[in-house]
Amino acid sequence: MIRDCDMSEEMQKEAVQQAERAVELHTVEKDIAQYIKKQFDKKYSPPWHCIVGQNFGSYVTHESNHFIYFYVGNLAILLFKTG
Tell me: the pLDDT tens digits for 27-80? 999 999 999 999 999 999 999 999 999 999 999 999 999 999 999 999 999 999
Q: Are 82 and 63 in contact (CB under 8 A)?
A: yes
CATH numbers and ranges of domains, the chain: 2-81 (3.30.740.10)
Q: How many angstroms separate the CA atoms of 78 and 71, rounded?
A: 9
**pLDDT at site 13:** 98
Report whether 12 contacts 72 (CB < 8 A): no
Instruction: Give the pLDDT score at 83.
Output: 87
Q: Are 25 and 35 in contact (CB under 8 A)?
A: yes
When pLDDT is averaged across residues 8-12 and rounded to a whole number, the result is: 98
